[in-house]
Structure 1
């Protein structure tokens, strides 16, 4: 039976897989197992279950039993893992407590770094010594968390894998690969597994004392606080936000933390500045429009900063996400009204209304598609992709449609990737477009630019959504 150690009072539990001799390797005054267990005490983990060596089938059944009894998210970690605490936190401290895996966006697979394919931040194909991954672009680094909604699936997968392993149907797999196999099973069952990137941090499984000593020594080469600060900036942000805002807003985060400013407070300041920008735009003169443009830029900078602060402090909440989204709409539409008032010509309201309607349509396309994807995950086989057999050694997902193949090719080219991000007219580009055209020309040029670029963005989004839905 697994051991259990109590750590705190949160809704996440952890399973330490002490199923290989490497967990007993020395590290400081204890073992790698002790080191990892000590790290878990600093993270929001309620209790730790320890699965001892008993053979692959028995180990997997032990995980299944724990998953069926768990009352919240369940994290699985092999005891031979040497990792930065911050790397573990990217999985265990995420407030969504959903299903995710710690990955490196490095395709150089080894026996302790099984291959993966990651698309749009999700693990779509996972491998083991038996399960091959066509065109891998990432590797698994040993930490897997199942969200509460996926615990039953985790238990079912663990039991199925245990039966296959006992029957010798998984070829060369060993107890070392228990967590790797569980990731394969979840992905092939259609569970959405978020890919939490390790980035510049380290997370490696080791097999000998020399390797363990070297892995521990490598941890000191990285400043975890600096990496955490860098990680608070979204990797997939737009061009304007990445190069004209985040380059300086990230330096304000430590001061905000010191003065205990919350992300929601930053959101409030952002809305206030946008309303002031709208007021200045309504004055109509070019000088007033320049001031409005500067206030709008600062408002957007704070809009980026509230997200960065939330990621740094991990102070996410449904209220905060709702307030941020609603605040974005309020700010943008208030600015439209201010520009239309300042222009002073009756016909401008038609353009303002058209621009507003176009943005509503664009957001509807995004949110309805995201809602359909979420429904697919909940409903299962009727909407979601069918489960794939664990006995198939190769996970052939089929060739994507032409539009998706073209989009994937764009991702490999830096310039094309940024153009792809800009073409959908994200909020950063919209705010920049509004600020520049309003300050240099007038509201009519602003609305015509929004309508022209927005129409291209809608067509691009619709084609992509349709292609992905067909896929």
Structure 2
């Protein structure tokens, strides 16, 4: 029977599966169930529904199905026999997308309480249990599952189907211990996209006895959660320039900014101010002013990275903040274009389009960037719509009664150009080349700053047009390949 414990009102509900004897094991905070409840109270969880032990696995799964049908907002499913860092739970529960995600470890040594999974492209494409096998597993599931609001109907259907199969003995000798493992199997096999949230160096283990619970709690002290939180605030998949020339030292600004109570939007505002100052210096046209403008533009980009890092560190995400950050990037870049064009034309005779057609070049560079951003945003929107439509129309990719994985759970093998691109991702050099060639914002800011400081605005705009044109072609070809795969 579900019991209700109300917490601070936010967007996510939690379902705690207290269906195993281990949930009543003792710890410093009472029982493991009490410990999980206290951890969830510190996270953005609206309410906690505790599913107590019923008459078997089928009854437990039906309890989950009922809660999924009446819930609004995302649901997190957590077993009460879990010993984990709070930061590990936060990796799933505090993600701004509130999407469907599973906490995984890239340690592929599977065990009864660590079922195998296979991860490709940042999502779980195969999941296992004692009944379901996963060839080529490259990770393990660590027992924390969140289901986004759009996938709640799928969760309810999967839980109900699994309950019927379990009651009929058609899943082998599975028990309530595997309830959450089976839910992940069902979601993946039904075609629902499950993001893989990597646990990294944190600990998250399910336990079965008092000795293993005590040992797991002791291991938690081996990891500095605050340091892990700081490290995960810095994007691991950022561009080459941002990774090697900004994030290496901007991470040391995160904690001071948090202590000063700066908000991410405030940091974004300061970044805009520095970019405007850079444009003012560029407009002077002298060599000293060009160098000063380049330095200010670099610092503006550092703060542009810092606002996102601060948002992840303080977990102060908002749709408005994401929109403001994206619009600020466009504003800063175009203001700098204007400053560069003014500076180049300041000491030269005016002709059609300015000296050497500088204003034509500036407008062309601006139009090219608008086109590239439109392609990116349009593709992302179309991809999101296609994913929602596909999830609504798709039939289960794999039967829950198939114990062995003979295919790839509905994920087609990728050949041709797209397959080559994925193979390139496995090599460090080619992966960085792929990131650089698309001329992301870090590389653009570096290109503008260096060419403006060393040469002049004409060289800057020509470089932007040439490299940006190559990047646009590369992106278009890649988008078409993905669309046809």
Compute the TM-score of the two structures, normalised by the length of structure 1.
0.94
How far apart in 1 are the matches of 2:75 and 2:189? 19
CA contact (8 A) 1:116 1:140 kept: yes
Q: Aligned pair in 2 of structure 1 residues 29, 367: CA closer, same or farther (>3 Å)?
A: closer
More deviation in 382-391 or 178-187?
Answer: 382-391
Report the equivalent of 2:236. 235
How far apart in 2 are the matches of 1:133 and 1:467? 29
Q: Aligned pair in 2 of structure 1 residues 205, 381: CA closer, same or farther (>3 Å)?
A: closer
Report the equivalent of 2:138. 137
Equivalent of 2:473 in 452, 459, 470: 459
How far does residue 246 in structure 1 lie from its aligned partner after superposition? 1.2
Report the equivalent of 2:204. 203
How far apart in 2 are the matches of 1:321 and 1:427? 16
How far apart in 2 are the matches of 1:152 and 1:190? 13
CA contact (8 A) 1:280 1:338 kept: yes
More deviation in 163-172 or 257-266?
Answer: 163-172
More deviation in 406-415 or 285-294?
Answer: 406-415
- Given the alignment of the two structures, is residue 17 of structure 1 paired with residue 27 of structure 2, yes or no? no
CA contact (8 A) 2:282 2:339 kept: yes
- SS of the aligned residue for 2:133 comes to coil
How far does residue 92 in structure 1 lie from its aligned partner after superposition? 1.7
Equivalent of 1:446 in 453, 460, 470: 460
- Given the alignment of the two structures, is residue 469 of structure 1 paired with residue 479 of structure 2, yes or no? no
How far apart in 2 are the matches of 1:69 and 1:320? 31
How far apart in 2 are the matches of 1:111 and 1:444? 64
Q: Aligned pair in 2 of structure 1 residues 465, 136: CA closer, same or farther (>3 Å)?
A: farther
Report the equivalent of 1:192. 193
Q: Aligned pair in 2 of structure 1 residues 382, 4: CA closer, same or farther (>3 Å)?
A: closer
- Given the alignment of the two structures, is residue 280 of structure 1 paired with residue 289 of structure 2, yes or no? no
| 1:206-247 superposed Cα distances (whole Å, 9 cap, x missing partner) | 233332222111100111111111111011111111111112
| 1:299-333 superposed Cα distances (whole Å, 9 cap, x missing partner) | 00000000011111111111111111011011111
CA contact (8 A) 2:192 2:391 kept: no
Report the equivalent of 1:355. 365
How far apart in 2 are the matches of 1:356 and 1:120? 32
Structure 2 residue runs without a partner (length 5+): 346-354
Q: Aligned pair in 2 of structure 1 residues 256, 381: CA closer, same or farther (>3 Å)?
A: closer
- Given the alignment of the two structures, is residue 421 of structure 1 paired with residue 435 of structure 2, yes or no? yes
How far apart in 2 are the matches of 1:289 and 1:130? 66
- SS of the aligned residue for 2:49 comes to strand
More deviation in 55-64 or 104-113?
Answer: 104-113
How far apart in 2 are the matches of 1:27 and 1:406? 51
More deviation in 360-369 or 322-331?
Answer: 360-369
- SS of the aligned residue for 2:58 comes to helix
How far apart in 2 are the matches of 1:341 and 1:384? 55
Structure 1 residue runs without a partner (length 5+): none
| 1:110-158 superposed Cα distances (whole Å, 9 cap, x missing partner) | 2222222333433333222333334333321111111222222211111
Report the equivalent of 2:47. 47
How far does residue 410 in structure 1 lie from its aligned partner after superposition? 2.1
How far apart in 2 are the matches of 1:428 and 1:383? 39
The alignment yields a C-alpha RMSD, in angstroms, of 2.0
More deviation in 390-399 or 338-347?
Answer: 390-399
| 1:245-286 superposed Cα distances (whole Å, 9 cap, x missing partner) | 112211112222222111101111111111111121121122
How far apart in 1 are the matches of 2:281 and 2:255? 32
Aligned residues: 471
Equivalent of 2:379 in 353, 369, 383: 369
Report the equivalent of 2:226. 225
Structure 2 counterparts to residues 28-427 of structure 1, below 5 A: 28=28, 30-53=30-53, 54-344=55-345, 345-380=355-390, 387-392=397-402, 393-394=404-405, 395-396=407-408, 397-427=411-441
CA contact (8 A) 1:401 1:467 kept: no
Q: Aligned pair in 2 of structure 1 residues 364, 169: CA closer, same or farther (>3 Å)?
A: farther
How far does residue 370 in structure 1 lie from its aligned partner after superposition? 0.9
CA contact (8 A) 1:191 1:377 kept: no
Q: Aligned pair in 2 of structure 1 residues 76, 355: CA closer, same or farther (>3 Å)?
A: same
How far does residue 296 in structure 1 lie from its aligned partner after superposition? 0.4
CA contact (8 A) 1:377 1:384 kept: no
- SS of the aligned residue for 1:63 comes to helix
Q: Aligned pair in 2 of structure 1 residues 102, 260: CA closer, same or farther (>3 Å)?
A: same
| 1:156-208 superposed Cα distances (whole Å, 9 cap, x missing partner) | 11111112222333335332221122122222333232222212111111233
- SS of the aligned residue for 1:46 comes to strand
CA contact (8 A) 1:277 1:295 kept: yes
Q: Aligned pair in 2 of structure 1 residues 119, 363: CA closer, same or farther (>3 Å)?
A: farther
How far does residue 440 in structure 1 lie from its aligned partner after superposition? 0.8
How far apart in 2 are the matches of 1:71 and 1:45? 13
CA contact (8 A) 2:29 2:35 kept: no
